[in-house]
């Protein structure tokens, strides 16, 4: 089968190129060292902009019009966001309690985390998700896309060190289960993009705030450990509703 007709094969090639742009390009601009928050607080990250442009260009050329750039299936479907939003509100309150960095740093982190949310969700819960679903079961789609999501974050070890990157990759795999569950339940990329960006914004702002580093990575991950279990619950509900003929 020609590669142009093999959506999964082409999507994996796109993933490899996107990873090079995002991870390698980002590591170069960050100098291959330091905190992951450092490059996000120093202006718009050009690697993220380039990655989004690449994905949008490929999607247009390939006529992938089913990636999730549409309204959620219903207002009721957005109710699945309640638990992760509780976490985000909590992290935001802690961030305000510890103090926030200057307006320039805050604006930079806000813009860059929005770019991350768009780029990663378009790649994993848009392009890769639809490609895997064209060939795989929903269970395999969730597993493979989440594993690849975690693996890409493991590559951050080249710039932040693998001691920090390994737990991040494991938790990112778990978070990928939640994000893809919300993508399936809402039928749209928009809620996941907003959720992803808001989550990253709070975490990076905590890291950049004067007192935020009192929170260890282990404590943050422990607080959020229930989220992947919630994702599995949403997927179970989704399968049950599909079996009974109900709407997702």
Percent of all residues in the chain with a pLDDT value above 90, rounded to a whole number: 57
Short-list 144, 1, 133, 119, CA closest to 57: 119
How sure is the predictor about 204, in pLDDT bands with cuts at 50, 70 and 90? confident
Short-list 151, 111, 178, CA closest to 23: 151
Q: What are phi and psi of 134, to 5 degrees?
A: -70, -15
Sorted by where each begins, the domain ranges of the chain are 3-244
pLDDT for 247 equals 43
pTM (two decimals):
0.89
Q: What are phi and psi of 2, to 5 degrees?
A: -65, 145
pLDDT for 214 equals 55
Short-list 18, 16, 39, 37, CA closest to 27: 39
pLDDT tens per residue across span 90-102? 888 888 888 888 8
The answer to whether 84 and 197 are in contact (CB under 8 A) is no
40: which 2 tokens?
Answer: 């996000």
65: which 2 tokens?
Answer: 């019009």
């Amino acid at each position: 089968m020609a590669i142009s007709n093999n959506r999964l094969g082409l999507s994996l090639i796109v993933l490899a190129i996107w990873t090079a742009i995002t991870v390698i390009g980002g590591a170069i601009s960050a100098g291959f060292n330091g905190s992951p928050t450092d490059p996000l607080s120093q202006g718009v990250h050009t690697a993220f902009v380039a990655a989004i442009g690449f994905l949008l260009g490929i999607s247009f050329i390939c006529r992938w019009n089913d990636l999730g750039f549409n309204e959620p299936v219903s207002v009721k479907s957005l109710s699945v966001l309640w638990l992760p939003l509780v976490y985000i509100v909590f992290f935001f309150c802690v961030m305000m309690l510890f103090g926030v960095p200057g307006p320039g740093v805050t604006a930079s982190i806000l813009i860059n985390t929005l770019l991350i949310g768009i780029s990663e969700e378009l790649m994993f819960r848009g392009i890769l998700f639809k490609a895997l679903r064209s060939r795989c079961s929903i269970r395999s789609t969730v597993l493979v896309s989440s594993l690849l999501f975690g693996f890409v974050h493991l590559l951050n070890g080249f710039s932040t060190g693998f001691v920090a990157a390994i737990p991040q990759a494991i938790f990112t795999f778990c978070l990928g289960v939640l994000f893809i569950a919300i993508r399936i339940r809402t039928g749209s990329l928009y809620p996941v993009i907003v959720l992803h960006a808001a989550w990253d914004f709070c975490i990076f702002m905590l890291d950049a705030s004067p007192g935020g580093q009192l929170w260890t990575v282990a404590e943050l991950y422990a607080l959020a450990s229930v989220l992947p279990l919630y994702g599995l619950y949403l997927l179970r509900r989704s399968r049950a509703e599909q079996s009974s003929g109900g709407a997702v």
